[in-house]
Amino acid sequence: MTTLSVLARTAFSATVMIDASRARYHLAQPVEWSLNGGEQSGVSTVVPLFLDGLTPSTDYTLRAGAHEVRFATLPCAGAIDAAAFGVAPGSADNAAAFAEAVAAVPHGGALIVPRGRHMTGPIFLKSDMTLHLPLGAEIATHGDRTDWPILPSHDAQGRVVGTWEGLPEPSFAAPLTAIGCDRLTITGGGILDGGGDRGDWWQWPKETRQDARRPRSLFLAHCTDVILSGLTVRNSPSWTVHPYRCQRLTAAALRIENPADSPNTDGFDPESCTDISLQGLRISVGDDCIAVKSGKRGTGTDRRTDHIAPTRHLTIANCLMQDGHGAVVMGSEMSGDITDVEITRCEFHGTDRGLRIKTRRGRGGEVARIALRDVTMHGVGTAIAVNAFYFCDADGKSDAVQSRAPAPVDESTPAIRDITVEDVTIASLRHAVAALLGLPEAPIQRVRLSRIAVDYDVNAVAGEVLMACRLPQIKHGGILHTFADIEVDAPLAPILKEFQDAV
């Protein structure tokens, strides 16, 4: 039986999920579909079906297999053709023309990007608008940062708008930037090319130029009620899609693609966000695929905490994560808390780690109530990695951070608790089923692993299971844990083997 559900509707598109309650990302069998009796038709091999080129305020019937679902597109108060304001494929920089076009969009209206590749600098969006980037249309940045807009760390209202790895810092604006935008939709089968391979963005990954940090490809700050659907976002200068302090955001049927060797090009980084739904995403990047964050405390003489806020109520479902460092990652910037995360029916292929939680002394905050269910992993290094000794930042390998002796507990002591992993199938595993290294002063609490099936890569070589000092390299490990309360209900061997050099 084929089940259908409508995940995201806009004036010009809809995302329908096929068999989302049973399949993961790929369908067990291809499914033929047709829209309104043949207006559009095709065959889907994956759960997310993105339908573009629809008409506003129109009823549609999608039939897939023997079942159908009905939906209506949303109204549009007026569609603006960006070409009418001078946006053209032949222009070296369409930023000024895009600015005029965005300003002309009426409340509740849409900006339509014409087909072709449009070179531009950053485009700033506004509330109550739709940006429609149809199939064949591409927004691509030129890479010349000479006059590139820079976001300050704080705006005139005191809100953080420039941010870098959990701290307020001036940053180059993203090719698509939305600050304080409510009821914003970005949709279509087109491409946003962040231009990471143009200019010198990837040559200074942890540095500054013009006193600013590298841009993201799509940056949304202080936005509510956002829909992102259908787009391919690629070639990012740094993190790819970065919602910061956003509420009620849905991302559906996106493709996020960066070269494997591009530095710190995470795929999707919700930071200090609430009520976020990521469904039907396909991600292959140069760092973590989905990296959940909530800001970090300052270090040394900079002890800022007023910028941190929680990330909570996050759903990740029917997604495919490929070839990144981690498939779904919490931290390491997690000082504001990361709680209530559900990861269901996903596929992890070739990532260094599957579910990864990383923090260290000095971060504070907690990661709690994280559940991973009904997931397949293939060719991953370590399936479950939980590390409270992550050696990030300049002092990350110092004795204060890496000592296995108990340290005093205070507000800067991070906590990890209530992690559930169940119904997981792991094929061609290289290093370990699970590696958990907690703090002696704040052990990892209540980890439960159930119904996990594993086979190992016979050609694997021993490798790093966690990024912490003084750990052995492992091949074909079972469950490795120290300073962790763990309950295992799975026929795994070897079982409950301690790290030899962790203490």
Query: DSSP characters for 311-344?
Result: EEEEEEES-EEESSSEEEEE-SS-TT-EEEEEEE
pLDDT at residue 503 greater than cutoff 50: no
Rounded to whole angstroms, what are the CA distances from 415 to 294, 430, 477, 484? 14, 28, 25, 11
- Report the pLDDT value the prediction gives residue 492, as an integer from 0 to 100: 59
Task: Give the mean pLDDT of the chain.
Answer: 95
Find where tokens 């260290």 sit. 360
> Which helix (H) or strand (E) element contains residue 172?
strand 171-172
> Which helix (H) or strand (E) element contains residue 400?
helix 399-402
**Rounded distance between C-alpha atoms, residue 122 and residue 175, angstroms:** 4
Please write the tens of the pLDDT for every residue from 152-173: 999 999 999 999 999 999 999 9
- Report the pLDDT value the prediction gives residue 305, as an integer from 0 to 100: 85
- Report the pLDDT value the prediction gives residue 458, as an integer from 0 to 100: 96
- Report the pLDDT value the prediction gives residue 494, as an integer from 0 to 100: 47
Please write the tens of the pLDDT for every residue from 445-499: 999 999 999 999 999 999 999 999 999 999 999 999 899 999 998 665 444 444 5
- Annotated catalytic residue within 287, 323, 337, 340: 287
Question: What confidence tier does 343 reach under pLDDT thresholds 50, 70, 90?
Answer: very high
Domain count, the chain: 2
**478: in domain:** yes
- Report the pLDDT value the prediction gives residue 315, as an integer from 0 to 100: 98
Which residue segment(s) compose the domain that 435 sits in? 125-132+150-199+211-489
User: Which residues touch 62 (CB under 8 Å, ≥6 apart)?
Assistant: 4, 14, 16, 33, 34, 35, 49, 51, 68, 69, 70, 71
CATH number at residue 396: 2.160.20.10
Residue 128 annotated as catalytic: no
Residue 378 annotated as catalytic: no
Q: Are residues 60 and 156 in the same domain?
A: no
- Report the pLDDT value the prediction gives residue 306, as an integer from 0 to 100: 85
| Nearest to 488, CA basis, from 497, 479, 500 | 479
Question: What confidence tier does 501 reach under pLDDT thresholds 50, 70, 90?
Answer: very low
**Whole-number percent of the chain with pLDDT over 70:** 97
Point out the domain boundary residue: 51, 72, 93: 72
Q: Which residue has the higher pLDDT, 304 or 128?
A: 128
**Rounded distance between C-alpha atoms, residue 226 and residue 125, angstroms:** 12
| Nearest to 265, CA basis, from 246, 243, 284 | 284
- Report the pLDDT value the prediction gives residue 106, as an integer from 0 to 100: 98
- Report the pLDDT value the prediction gives residue 1, as an integer from 0 to 100: 66
**Rounded distance between C-alpha atoms, residue 282 and residue 288, angstroms:** 13
pLDDT at residue 35 greater than cutoff 80: yes
**97: in domain:** no
Average pLDDT over every residue of 168-194:
98
**42: in domain:** yes
**112: in domain:** no
Average pLDDT over every residue of 239-260:
98
Residues in the chain: 503
**Rounded distance between C-alpha atoms, residue 386 and residue 370, angstroms:** 12
Strand partners, 164: 167
pLDDT at residue 95 greater than cutoff 60: yes
Q: Are residues 46 and 158 in the same domain?
A: no
> Which helix (H) or strand (E) element contains residue 103?
helix 95-104
**503: in domain:** no
CATH number at residue 29: 2.60.40.10
**Rounded distance between C-alpha atoms, residue 51 and residue 104, angstroms:** 27
Rounded to whole angstroms, what are the CA distances from 391 to 117, 261, 435, 499? 41, 21, 16, 18
- Annotated catalytic residue within 118, 222, 325, 431: 325
pLDDT at residue 46 greater than cutoff 70: yes
Q: Are residues 296 and 177 in the same domain?
A: yes
Count CB atoms within 10 A of the CB of residue 28: 10
Rounded to whole angstroms, what are the CA distances from 381 to 376, 456, 460, 499? 14, 10, 9, 17
